[in-house]
Structure 1
Amino acid sequence: MRHGSIQGASGRVRPLTLLGDPVLHQPCADVTDFGPSLAGLVQDMFATMYAAQGVGLAANQVGEGLRVFVYDCEDDDDVRHVGHVVNPRLVEADGVVIRGPEGCLSLPGLEAGTPRFDHARVEGLDVTGAPVVIHGTGWFARCLQHECDHLEGRTYTDRVTGWRRRRVLRQAARASWS
């Protein structure tokens, strides 16, 4: 979608699905139609992510059970990465495991220390079906792993254990959006 336009400028903001919605807890289906509806979904996802002030957004977070995510995220060297991936596969997650604060647009206002590798590689397609490979380090690697988890029907709360997990789930149960 590098046609000189701003990502999401032509999209509409969609309502976010929140923790507990069944679409967040099921693996998403592969995209098979690379037509205008997919391009529109990607634009809507960018618009929604920006409106919610997020750095990544998976399609199931706007109620679409499809393997697509968008991102606008910096790595630990302050390099900005903006794009989308269709039918992504996390093919590498390695390096040092770092427990860092992680939030989610589907759990607004909450975060928990979540362990993630500091390097990730994702392979997939763009909206035209052309192959893409994305390498991420640091914060951006965390974002890639987080969004791939969403497409498998997981949220970061599934990666958190012990008292951190109990605390964030208790906070979610008491949240005004719950």
Structure 2
Amino acid sequence: MAVRTIRLFGDPVLRAVSAPIDAIDDGIRSLVQDLLDTVELPGRAGVAAPQIGVGLRAFSYNIDGEIGYVLNPVLAEVRGEPVPVGEGCLSVPGLWHDALRHPWARVTGVDLDGNEVVLEGEGLMAQALQHETDHLDGMLYLSRLAPDDRKRAMREVRESAWF
């Protein structure tokens, strides 16, 4: 289908809670293909539907060469105490800060055929699962920064060329 433009910090769709997908139709199949096409670009670990302007609960991922998607994902389980992990976001380009993330995570959802999907892992996979489900809940990783880091990050956003 198409590589879609990433919405940037300040776009209201990034702050809204995404709606569940009630029916899988041609529009949802097209959305999934766009999410997959968009996440395939180098340097991308995940793309949530709100990042391409669609307020529905879906995201794609590209972790260690494995590319996929999940519809109606739920962060079902996390393990371990949250630790600071270097993180960036396509919707906040050029910034990199330590966000608090659990070292292991599991997401459950469905695929286009309505079959259950379970994604789990540690490291980058755990981080991506938490990051992308945050997007679906209207949260950017900046909200997970320590107060002083968040203040510095917001200054960097205001001073950025894209803002």
Instruction: Report the TM range for the smaller structure's normalisation.
Output: over 0.9
> Which of 62, 75, 89 lines up with 1:90 in the alignment?
75
Report the TM-score when normalising by structure 2: 0.95
Residue-pair matches, total:
163
2:49 is aligned with 1:49:
no
Report the TM-score when normalising by structure 1: 0.87
- Provide the residue aligned with 2:53 in structure 1: 63
Q: Distance in 1 between matches of 2:84 and 2:24?
A: 37
Q: How does 1:105-120 map to 2 (within 5 A)?
A: 105-120=90-105
Q: Distance in 1 between matches of 2:54 and 2:113?
A: 19
User: Is the 2:99–2:144 Cα contact (8 Å) retained in structure 1?
Assistant: yes
Q: Aligned letter for 2:141? A: Y
Q: Distance in 1 between matches of 2:159 and 2:114?
A: 42
- Provide the residue aligned with 1:130 in structure 2: 115
Identity of matched residues, %: 40
- Provide the residue aligned with 1:155 in structure 2: 140
Q: Aligned letter for 2:95? A: L
C-alpha deviations, 1:48-106, integer Å up to 9, x for none? 223363110000000000000000113xxxxx432111000001011242211100000
Other structure's SS at 1:51 match:
coil
Unaligned runs of 5+ in 2: none
Unaligned runs of 5+ in 1: 1-10, 75-79
Q: Which runs of 4+ in 1 moved over 3 A?
A: none
Other structure's SS at 2:21 match:
coil
Q: Distance in 2 between matches of 1:44 and 1:141?
A: 23
Once structures 1 and 2 are overlaid, which stretch shifts more, 24-33 or 51-60?
Answer: 51-60
Task: Quote the RMSD (CA, aligned, Å).
Answer: 1.3
